[in-house]
């Protein structure tokens, strides 16, 4: 087998990154954009010891699950790597991820529900963080090609709310008009690094965040004035990120114009959202995810509930009126401030949020003798820590509802809970991110 050789392959499987998998001369071959059941001619690109990467030259036999989307090739490989698969098969792919993880962990007896489909299959994202770079001599917006920092210019982001795309393009044009330099990451020079735009589906309010190398730059006032004229923009913020770093946002935000937050709603609860606060990105699917989690919690009026990794308190505040007390923790201070303000905004007096790492706050509460009934956890991709799990168990909850955006770390953590006398019998995948391989899942652990 040599690089650039053309080989004929039968695709038998999909990798967890949604690449077609084939076996050839004892090697596993990963092929972008190929589907199980397809016979293809492929060019070998990179050959390692036991596996290789290849790209499709010709599809000899096409899968009936293939959708021929008219997408920029890079969008498909970067932003929407499942876009070539029929939606119901995407749902099946996500369910299989969970089934396979359970199988590897010897947990085959656990049931896996059908993936809950998203009400919107495209245009569902309520937020876009778009890199800004100089391309062909002018400032442009787009996205980074996979595994690189080469900007592919783009104006239709496919999975993003088209209203956000409209604002991104309008802001790009204003920046061009005033000759604002795009960020140059090699020399840590230039100005605009990212555009971050958020839109509330409930109120239509739009926040524009200019992520800039400096706090101030030439024509900033005029630029702000022009952005404020874009239809539905209600908030303009400058995020100052002076460092040579891949981290998108800097620590400091400066309000340039309008409101410091936008307001969104989940069910009948309103939420004010600050620039740095996490908010679930699929607005129509979020209430369905929470409903599922709340239904699994089977809450009682006397319950003491923990909302761990709380963001702006969306889960805890959605249940506060039906329980005795809610306590939550979150590491981002502005998000905690939002959570406490959101409690007030909704007339909720039995919920309190504190700033801190969940793995430090939970042991403190356990040491203080706190007893709990239901703990909701919704951690980032890396999952929980053993310290958090030990402390959570010490507070003696009847139920732990686990919401996860990474089933691999979820299954790892569920096994740790099992060792401590908790058990679960079902996991339900929920599609929060159509067209991408990301899988969200919910389960409930109960004390044996």
Ligand X SMILES: C[S@@+](CC[C@H](N)C(=O)[O-])C[C@H]1O[C@@H](n2cnc3c(N)ncnc32)[C@H](O)[C@@H]1O
User: Smallest gap, in angstroms, from Cβ of residue 411 to ligand X?
Assistant: 17
Q: Is 334 in the site for ligand X (CB under 6 A)?
A: no
Kindly tell me which of 380 and 421 has the beta carbon lying closer to ligand X.
Answer: 380
178 appears as a binding residue in the annotation: no
The tokens describing 270, both together, are: 């309103």
Q: Is 280 annotated as a binding residue?
A: yes
Integer Cα distance of 97 and 368 in angstroms = 40
Residue numbers 19-78 binding ligand X by CB under 6 A = none
- Residue 382: is it exposed, middle or buried by C-beta count within 10 angstroms (0-12/13-18/19+)? exposed
Tokens standing for residue 105 = 């962990």
CA distances from 331 to 38, 264, 271, 277, 308 (A): 46, 21, 18, 10, 10
Measured CA to CA, the distance from residue 128 to residue 74 in angstroms comes to 17
Task: Name which of 267 and 380 has its Cβ closer to ligand X.
Answer: 380
For ligand X, how many residues bind (rule: CB under 6 A)? Answer: 20
Nearer to ligand X, 160 or 406 (CB): 406
Given 405, 430, 441, 444, which residue is catalytic? 405
| 434/118 Cα distance (integer angstroms) | 7
Please report, as residue ranges, which positions from 249 to 278 form the binding site for ligand X (by CB under 6 A): 278
Choice between 35 and 405, CB closer to ligand X = 405
Using the rule CB under 6 A, give the single segment among 61-69, 188-196, 293-301, 375-383 that binds ligand X: 375-383
Candidates 249, 185, 176; CA nearest to 219 is 176
Q: Which stretch binds ligand X (CB under 6 A): 1-9, 85-93, 191-199, 324-332?
A: 324-332
Q: Can you state the angle between helices 386-394 and 407-419, rounded to 10 degrees?
A: 50
The answer to whether residue 242 is catalytic is no
Residue 35 or 441 having the CB closest to ligand X: 441
What is the nearest approach in angstroms of ligand X to the Cβ of residue 54? Answer: 35
Q: Among 13-21, 310-318, 415-423, 438-446, which window interacts with ligand X (CB under 6 A)?
A: 310-318
| Residue 317 parent element (H or E) | helix 314-319
Cα distance between residue 408 and residue 105, in whole Å: 10
Q: Is residue 413 a contact point for ligand X (CB under 6 A)?
A: no
Taking CB under 6 A as the binding criterion, the range among 122-130, 187-195, 319-327, 372-380 that sits at the site for ligand X is 372-380
Cα–Cα dist 146/409, whole Å: 23
Query: Which is nearest to 7 in space by CA: 37, 52, 49?
Result: 52
Does the annotation flag 309 for ligand binding? yes
Binder to ligand X among 38, 191, 378, 428 (CB under 6 A)? 378
Distance, C-alpha 399 to centroid of its chain: 25
Q: Is residue 332 part of the contact set for ligand X (CB under 6 A)?
A: yes
38, 253, 330, 373: which one contacts ligand X (CB under 6 A)?
330
Residue with token string 């004390």: 447
Annotated binding site for S-adenosyl-L-methionine: 280, 309, 330, 378
Q: Which residues are catalytic?
A: 405
Q: Which residues bind ligand X (CB under 6 A)?
A: 278-280, 309-311, 314-315, 329-332, 335, 357-359, 378-380, 405
């Amino acid at each position: 087998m040599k690089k650039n050789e053309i080989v004929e392959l039968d695709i038998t499987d999909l990798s967890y990154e949604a690449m077609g998998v084939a076996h050839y001369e004892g090697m596993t071959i990963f092929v972008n954009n190929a589907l199980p059941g397809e016979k293809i001619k492929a060019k070998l690109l990179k050959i390692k010891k036991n596996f290789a990467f290849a790209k499709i030259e010709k599809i000899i036999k096409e899968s009936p699950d293939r959708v021929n989307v008219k997408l920029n090739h890079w969008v498909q490989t970067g932003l929407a790597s499942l876009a070539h698969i029929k939606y119901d098969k995407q749902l099946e792919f996500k369910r299989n991820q969970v089934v396979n993880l359970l199988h590897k962990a010897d947990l085959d007896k656990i049931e896996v529900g059908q993936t809950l489909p998203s009400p919107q299959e495209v245009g569902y994202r309520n937020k876009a963080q778009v890199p800004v770079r100089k391309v062909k001599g002018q400032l442009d917006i787009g996205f980074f090609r996979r595994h690189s920092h080469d900007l592919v210019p783009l104006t239709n982001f496919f999975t993003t709310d088209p209203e956000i795309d409209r604002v991104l393009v309008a802001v790009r044009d204003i920046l061009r008009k005033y000759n604002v330099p795009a960020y140059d990451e090699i020399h840590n020079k230039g100005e605009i690094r990212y555009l971050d735009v958020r839109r509330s589906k409930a109120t239509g309010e739009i926040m524009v965040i200019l992520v800039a190398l400096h706090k101030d730059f030439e024509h900033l006032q005029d630029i702000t004035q022009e952005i404020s004229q874009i239809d539905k923009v209600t908030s303009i913020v400058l995020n100052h990120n002076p460092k040579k770093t891949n981290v998108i946002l800097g620590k400091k935000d400066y309000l340039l114009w309008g409101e410091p937050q936008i307001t969104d709603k989940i069910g009948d609860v309103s939420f004010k959202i600050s620039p740095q606060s996490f908010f679930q990105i699929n607005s129509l699917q979020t209430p369905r995810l929470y409903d599922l989690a709340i239904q699994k919690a089977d809450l009682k009026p006397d319950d003491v509930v923990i909302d761990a990794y709380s963001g702006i308190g969306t889960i805890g505040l959605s249940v506060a009126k039906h329980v005795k007390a809610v306590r939550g923790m979150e590491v981002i201070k502005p998000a905690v401030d939002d959570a406490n303000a959101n409690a007030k905004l909704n007339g909720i007096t039995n919920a309190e949020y504190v700033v801190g790492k969940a793995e430090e706050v939970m042991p403190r509460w356990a040491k203080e003798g706190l007893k709990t009934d239901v703990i909701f956890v919704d951690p980032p991709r890396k999952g929980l820590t053993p310290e958090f799990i030990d402390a959570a168990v010490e507070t003696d909850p009847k139920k732990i509802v686990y919401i996860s955006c990474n089933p691999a770390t979820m299954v790892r953590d569920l096994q740790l809970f099992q060792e401590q006398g908790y058990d679960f019998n079902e996991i339900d995948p929920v599609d929060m991110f159509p067209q991408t391989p990301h899988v969200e899942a919910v389960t409930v652990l109960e004390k044996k």
